[in-house]
Amino acid sequence: MTRNEVRPVVDIETGELFEKAIIVDNPENYILIHKDSEANRKEFLKNRVVKSQFDELAGGFSFTMLDTLKELIADEDFTQSDKTRIMFLGTFVSYEKNNRYLTYGNGRPILKNQLMDLLEMTNRKEFYNLYNTMLEKGVFTEDRESRSVIKIIWSKKYHFKGAVSGGSKTSEKLVKSYDKQIRELYRARNSKGKPIHTAHSLFTFFSLLPYVHPESNALCRHPEKPVSQSQPFTIRELADIYGIERVTNFRRLLFRIKIHKMPVVALAQTTEDSRIYINPFVVNRTGKKPNATLFTLFESSFQRLADRQGWSEEQRQQFLKQ
């Protein structure tokens, strides 16, 4: 008999015949893996690589707890403009190992006396009202090294970077925002150097995020349910939620939110229904590469980011096929 082989075997206790049993010499040296399990493992690893490529393309990101986002949207202690500014500041949070300081891209801490300029605010009273309210409500704490050197430690309840503990169940409760795109949205200027958006106007976009479905990135009444049961919103239904009577006004409000003239919100219509999608390169909730529909709807964003990464046409096509 060979050391390892497949052959008929009879269980000496039950008399049961196994036509194809595996005979293994020194079984402690082997691990047996079911073909289905191995296929699932390979698929998981492939998806992880593809998702990593997507994140590399879209850039660094920050997580926000879904429940915290809902609380912030409903918080009457902050104005709508304040809430947009909090979402913007959250993109500067550093990793837990760096104590969650707000930092610039080079790692240098952002100080209290730099925040007003970073937020592009000109009204000092308005700024200090926001600052003090954030401090009182625990959005951040101060690390005072001196009177002029006050660092900002951001609360992980609002934003954090790094590994997600708790697995997929925790991931389902998170919103992922891509830092560069959120900052570009906030800082967008027209050809004359004037702001395209205001903090107030961008609040509508951020207030939509709890409705984003993790799989489709569509705005749904029940994003916690499978896609087939999620009940995607129509423009009319969303306009009603926001108390806007004229659908055309709400449509204009949504679709003028752009980055470099590229859409952040898109409408896909069929003969049966219409769905409103959020650009996955700005915000998404999936732990996988976004589906093919989103790459079609937001192709201009994909091409721009691929240009920024220096991807060849071959790299782009290979990525899309995966």
* Mean pLDDT on 297-307: 94
Query: Does position 11 have pLDDT exceeding 80, yes or no?
Result: no
pLDDT tier at 161 (50, 70, 90 boundaries)? very high
Query: Does position 82 have pLDDT exceeding 90, yes or no?
Result: yes
Query: Does position 13 have pLDDT exceeding 90, yes or no?
Result: no
Name the percent of the chain lying above pLDDT 70: 84
Query: Does position 24 have pLDDT exceeding 80, yes or no?
Result: no
Question: 140: closest CA among 105, 94, 174, 73?
Answer: 94
Strand order in the sheet with 174-178: 61-65, 174-178, 283-284
Select the more confidently predicted residue: 44 or 133. Answer: 133
Question: 154: closest CA among 126, 119, 123, 112?
Answer: 112
Query: Does position 107 have pLDDT exceeding 70, yes or no?
Result: yes
Listed in sequence order, the residues at least 6 apart from 45 whose beta carbon sits closer than 8 Å to its beta carbon are none
Select the more confidently predicted residue: 305 or 22. Answer: 305
Query: Does position 53 have pLDDT exceeding 50, yes or no?
Result: yes
* Mean pLDDT on 222-244: 93
Maximum distance among all Cα pairs of the chain, rounded to whole angstroms: 88
The whole-number pLDDT of residue 224 equals: 93
The whole-number pLDDT of residue 167 equals: 56
Cα separation, 297 vs 278, whole angstroms: 10
Cα separation, 181 vs 263, whole angstroms: 12
Paired residues of 111 in beta bridges = 151
The two structure tokens encoding residue 45: 């690893």
Question: 261: closest CA among 303, 311, 206, 199?
Answer: 303
The whole-number pLDDT of residue 322 equals: 83
pLDDT tier at 9 (50, 70, 90 boundaries)? low
* Mean pLDDT on 207-230: 95
Q: Could you give the count of Cα atoms lying within 13 Å of 172 in the half-sphere of its Cβ?
A: 7
The whole-number pLDDT of residue 271 equals: 67
**3-class secondary structure, 249:** helix
Q: Provide Rg for the chain, Cα atoms.
A: 25
* Mean pLDDT on 251-260: 91
Cα separation, 237 vs 244, whole angstroms: 10
Vertex 280 angle, CA 275 and 282, to 5° = 120
Query: Does position 119 have pLDDT exceeding 80, yes or no?
Result: yes
**3-class secondary structure, 214:** coil
The two structure tokens encoding residue 65: 């707890």
pLDDT tier at 215 (50, 70, 90 boundaries)? very high
Q: What pTM value is reported for the model?
A: 0.84
* Mean pLDDT on 10-16: 62
* Mean pLDDT on 131-150: 97
The whole-number pLDDT of residue 1 equals: 46
Query: Does position 163 have pLDDT exceeding 90, yes or no?
Result: no
Cα separation, 132 vs 115, whole angstroms: 12
* Mean pLDDT on 244-273: 89
Query: Does position 109 have pLDDT exceeding 70, yes or no?
Result: yes
* Mean pLDDT on 209-223: 95
